Amino acid sequence: TSWSASADGLAYTFELRRGVTWHVSDDFKPTREFNADDVLFTFDRLLNRAEGLGGAFAKAFPSVSPYVASFGWEKLIRKVEKLGDHQVRITLAERDASFVSALSFAFTMIQSAELGAQLMKAGTPHRIAQVPIGTGPFQFKSFRADSVIRYVKHPGWWRKDEKPRADQLVFAITPDATVRAQRLKRNECDIAAPVGPAELADLMKDPAIKLATAPGMNIGILAYNTRRPALSKVEVRQALDMAIDKAAILRTVYGEGSTLASSVMPPANWAHDATIKPVPHDPAKARALLQKAGVLPLNITLWAIPVVRAYNPNGQRMAQMIQSDWAKVGVTARIVTYEWGEYLRRIDAGEHDAAMSGWNSDPEPANTAG
């Protein structure tokens, strides 16, 4: 319900809400309400600590959160202590202005220690990722891979003054943007995930569809593998950047409402620096830099993102445009792509030369700059 920080900014004390009930499922019947034990279990597991049930659980079912790694929490968080059934103190190794904001991210969602103990006893700790149990207004009911996820309202939600306005939530998994737009027009859904520029233009003509617009907090990027000898040179990366006609990509791939990025911070983020200007399109200067760097002719792979994202609605089309622009300055790019999971795995392994990526940002700039 509240939190306070010590004078030196190293210790945060949290007063936990009382009367918060856990979801009930066919596999899990909680015998108590949410308390400090759940917080300790969650953090010990997140941080792969040896202490307590969370530590034992982490050992039995190892997993590393990319957010924990990005924020450096394994070193930042010195200890997590239970001061009472509804009071927890987290002590840091050094001051970190982003810490409290990061606690609001989904990866810090508190999990039930009682559920963890039950799964450990059954020898099935991996099922914690398959039987989501929380305390919110809707609780998990069923899941069919690549098809649908169903939730029903949680009758024991702690907000007694504000009941869920719907009896259920249904997430119809629809990867194709065109199909999502069609479902929206046919009144088969209430809300649709982002669609491409063509579908958006069509939806704007439909008086039955309500479109709300706001500055986006996402950014598309091209990630270079600096372990490659040629790409380790900053002048080569600068040349590849200025060789790309990004204004043409905005018109063709993104359409109305897109903005040319000048840094990794979206304009809607409070940390955006408006004095930084986008690098101008200059093929002649790009070729000169590449020649000076001694890397021509240059052959690289260009990885096209295989999924539709707000920060990249058409990876293949963008890749083709970049490939064409690079060819004009003496760079031959071979376009490759993989299924989304494999795409991410191979990038993490450093197999790419240049790969499309992006980020859906939030008000905390450390999460984006990470």
Q: Are 311 and 296 in contact (CB under 8 A)?
A: no
**Which string of b and e fits 221-245 if b means at least 16 CB within 10 Å?**
ebebbeebebbebeebbbbbbbbbb
Domain segments of the chain: what residues? 2-130, 218-369
Q: Which residues of 30-54 are buried (b: 16+ CB within 10 A; e: fewer)?
A: beebbbbbbbbbbbbbbbbbeebbb
Which ranges constitute the DSSP H helices of 98-243? Answer: 99-102, 113-122, 177-185, 197-204, 234-243
DSSP 133: -
Q: How far apart are CA 45 and CA 111, in angstroms?
A: 10
How many Å apart are CA 53 and CA 165, to the nearest integer?
Answer: 37
Find residue 84's DSSP bridge partners: 87
For the sheet with 11-15, list strands across it: 2-5, 11-15, 87-92, 77-84
What is residue 266's predicted lDDT score, i.e. its pLDDT? Answer: 87
What dihedral angle (degrees, nearest 10) is formed by the CA atoms of 277, 283, 287, 293? 10
- The fold of the 2-130 domain, in CATH, is Dipeptide-binding Protein; domain 1 (3.90.76)
Superfamily of domain 218-369: Dipeptide-binding Protein; Domain 3 (3.10.105.10)
DSSP classification of residue 333? E
Using CA atoms, how far residue 265 sits from 161, 252, 311, 366, in Å, is 38, 23, 13, 10
Please tell me the predicted confidence (pLDDT) of residue 275. 95
Question: How far is 162 from 61, CA to CA, in rounded Å?
Answer: 37
Q: Residue 246's CB: how many other CB atoms inside 10 A?
A: 21
Distance CA 361, CA 242 (A): 25
Kindly list the averaged pLDDT for each block of 10 residues, start to end, along the chain of length 370: 96 98 94 97 84 79 80 92 98 94 90 94 88 94 93 93 91 91 92 83 88 84 96 98 96 86 88 92 98 97 92 94 98 97 94 94 74
Enumerate residues 6+ apart whose C-beta is below 8 A from 355.
Answer: 222, 223, 225, 302, 303, 305, 343, 347
C-alpha pair distances (Å), 156 with each of 145, 299, 329? 28, 60, 63
pTM to 2 decimal places: 0.79
* Structural contact between residues 149 and 74, judged by C-beta atoms closer than 8 angstroms: no
Q: By three-state DSSP, how is residue 262 classified? A: coil
CA-based Rg of the chain, rounded to a whole angstrom?
Answer: 24
Structure tokens at 350: 């450093």
- The pLDDT, as a whole number, for residue 370 is 63
Helix (H, G, I), strand (E, B) or coil at 202: helix
Say what the pLDDT of residue 363 is: 76
Predicted pLDDT at 128: 87
The C-alpha atoms of residue 155 and residue 143 are separated, in whole angstroms, by: 20
CB 139 within 8 A of CB 154: yes
Contacts 24+ apart (CB under 8 A), 23-27: 23/133, 23/134, 23/135, 23/139, 23/140, 23/154, 24/139, 24/156, 25/131, 25/133, 25/139, 25/140, 27/127, 27/131
The residues with which 139 forms a beta bridge, in sequence order, are 152
